[in-house]
Amino acid sequence: MQVLCVDVGTGTQDILLFDSDREIENCVQLVAPSPTRIIADRVRRATAAGRPILLTGRAMGGGPCGWAVEDHLRHGLPAYATPDAARTFDDELPKVERMGIRLVSVDEAARLSGVDRVVMGDLDLDAIIGALARFDIRPDLAAIAVAVFDHGNAPPGVSDRTFRFEYIAETVARNDLTAFAYRREDLPERLTRMRAVADAAPLSVPTLVMDTGPAAIVGALEDPIVRGRDRALIANLGNFHTLAFHLAGGRVLGILEHHTGELTRAKLERYLGQLADGSLSNAEVFADMGHGALVVGQPSERPDFLAVIGPRRSLLDGSDIRPYLAVPHGDMMLAGCFGLLRALARRMPELAPPIEERLGAAVCNRATN
């Protein structure tokens, strides 16, 4: 059985072609530039050439690609976008127009000439399958699993950060980290970025979409040292977002989500300490440009173990906390993909036996079952 797992971040997209006939270490793995970085580079080339751009395709993650489009507009160059592509920058299209982007219908886009066409989207299966084909790999996929960060479609006047953290709090109440993963047919309407990813996958292939932060946390639990701790903080320090969970006795006791770029080592240490003792304030984190914090229950004792995953884990270099750098299945960058596999086994139990045969029995006592 083969499953394509793609963990889409701001800096990289981490790809695992799981093959149940191979040891996990021998499965094909790729760490490639993220879709938003690829799109940003294409926009910058058009800007340098002084050419208008036309954005088509689907809504995707912003960040670098959004900054590149803003820079393009500052140079006085036209930018056109179809409505679906424009939702990359904001689900409220009038706000996109106020940025200076000119909205056009799909038919109008087809007739535009003299523009550099840029196709938006978080999942480029043609590129991934094409890259694999260069190595004579032609997968027969039983499923596709993709992780993306989704703020959700916040109502007018509601902060994206507030809206996302409300969703996180609602989902955590189920005390199952794989609840952040959805089969394509079960995706809530509010998760517009996830729905765009699901729409990009072939209908003939079962598809699962999950939030990136929880996917990495579930993946970190694949490290036997992390799995063996009854009480722990687990933090995913991503290129753009940091998400930390306080787990104890199979329960989620607290959560912190922040923008990595807003954090210093000292500030992160303080927040993690407050997460550990249950004193972390949502208001303080939100005022600091973070998404928020949630304390679900007071710990009976403070955990003395912090596991860290993610490409920005060096933020805690030299820390007195002395974090453990988790290495699930020997590859830190694939943590999100391993989390996707676990979630897939949970949400599509018909696929669980070959996954668990390679990864081992399902992680127990860690709010993942």
Q: pLDDT (tens digit, 9 = 90+) per residue, 138-193?
A: 999 999 999 999 999 988 888 888 899 888 888 988 889 999 999 999 999 999 99
Query: Residue 9: is its pLDDT beyond 90?
Result: yes
| Contacts with 39 (C-beta within 8 Å, 6 or more apart), sequence order | 60, 64, 65, 68, 118, 120
Average pLDDT, integer, range 63-83: 98
Domain ranges of the chain: 224-326
Contact 257, 169 (CB under 8 A): no
Q: Which of 339, 334, 342 is nearest to 12 (CA)?
A: 334
At position 215, the amino acid (one-letter code) is A
Mean pLDDT of 329-353: 96
The number of beta carbons lying within 10 Å of the beta carbon of residue 308 is 26
DSSP state of 315: G
CA angle 152, 289, 254 (to 5 degrees): 75
Task: Say how many Å lie between the first and final Cα of the chain, rounded.
Answer: 23
Q: Is 213 helix (H, G, I), strand (E, B) or coil?
A: helix
CA distance 158 to 295: 22
Residue 369, pLDDT score: 55
If you ran DSSP here, which 8-state letter would residue 333 be given?
Answer: G
Q: Tell whether the model's pLDDT for residue 367 goes beyond 70.
A: no
Q: Give me the percent of the chain exceeding a pLDDT of 90.
A: 85
| Average pLDDT rounded to a whole number, residues 82-104 | 96
Residue 174, pLDDT score: 86
Would you say the pTM of this structure is higher than 0.75?
yes
Provide the pLDDT for residue 133.
97
Fill in the amino acid letter for 262: E
pLDDT given for residue 160 in this prediction: 86
Q: What is the helix (H) or strand (E) element at residue 125, kind and residue range?
A: helix 125-133
CA nearest to 2, candidates 299, 355, 278, 297: 355
Of the candidates 58, 55, 57, 59, the residue with the CA atom closest to the CA atom of residue 69: 55
Q: Please give the Cα distance from 16 to 37 (Å, whole number).
A: 20
Helix (H, G, I), strand (E, B) or coil at 368: coil
Fold observed for domain 224-326: Nucleotidyltransferase; domain 5 (3.30.420)
DSSP state of 221: T
Amino acid letter, 99: M
Cα–Cα dist 234/217, whole Å? 7
Question: Percent of the chain having pLDDT more than 70?
Answer: 98
At position 278, the amino acid (one-letter code) is G
pLDDT in tens, 199-236: 999 999 999 999 999 999 999 999 999 999 999 999 99
Whether the per-residue pLDDT at 285 is higher than 50: the answer is yes
**10/311 Cα distance (integer angstroms):** 11
**Are 119 and 59 a contacting pair, CB within 8 Å?**
no
Using CA atoms, how far residue 180 sits from 191, 208, 216, 302, 342, in Å, is 11, 10, 11, 26, 12
What CA–CA distance (Å, rounded) separates 366 from 369?
Answer: 8
> Residue 244: its pLDDT value, please?
96
Give the pLDDT band (50/70/90) at residue 364: very low
Token digits of residue 296? 């679900």
Mean pLDDT of 25-41: 97
Contact between 227 and 360 (Cβ < 8 Å): no
Question: What integer is the mean pLDDT of 343-365?
Answer: 87
> What mean pLDDT value characterizes the chain?
94
